[in-house]
Amino acid sequence: MAMPVQTRLGVWNQACTGSDQVAEATTRAIDIYESLRVKVTAELVLKNKNFKRLALEQLDVLASQVAGTRGLHTYKDFKYAVEQYLIPFFSRYQITEITK
């Protein structure tokens, strides 16, 4: 059975070392930890987001930016298109899976 690795770098991350040998699993666990630490330092994404989650986050950002400004009609159209067409179609895809 492969040994799992759990790390806490901002959020909990779990990965599998792919080995049941303690020495080899320890070495791989250290490599996994160091690569995660580099990603956290560089502020790279640790986990892929699906389209729906990212779209809803972006709608929240837009709503806060539009509040009190003159882009309200455009925002409503954009929100409608995202909620009615884009999210239902792309919701099951990870952002990294969507290509041209």
Confidence of residue 9 (pLDDT cuts 50, 70, 90): low
pLDDT: which is higher, 8 or 30 = 30
Q: Which residues contact 68 (CB under 8 A, 6 or more apart)?
A: none
pLDDT at 1: 45
**Percent of the chain surpassing pLDDT 70:** 74
pLDDT at 33: 82
Number of other residues whose CB lies within 10 A of the CB of residue 4: 11
pLDDT: which is higher, 31 or 72 = 31
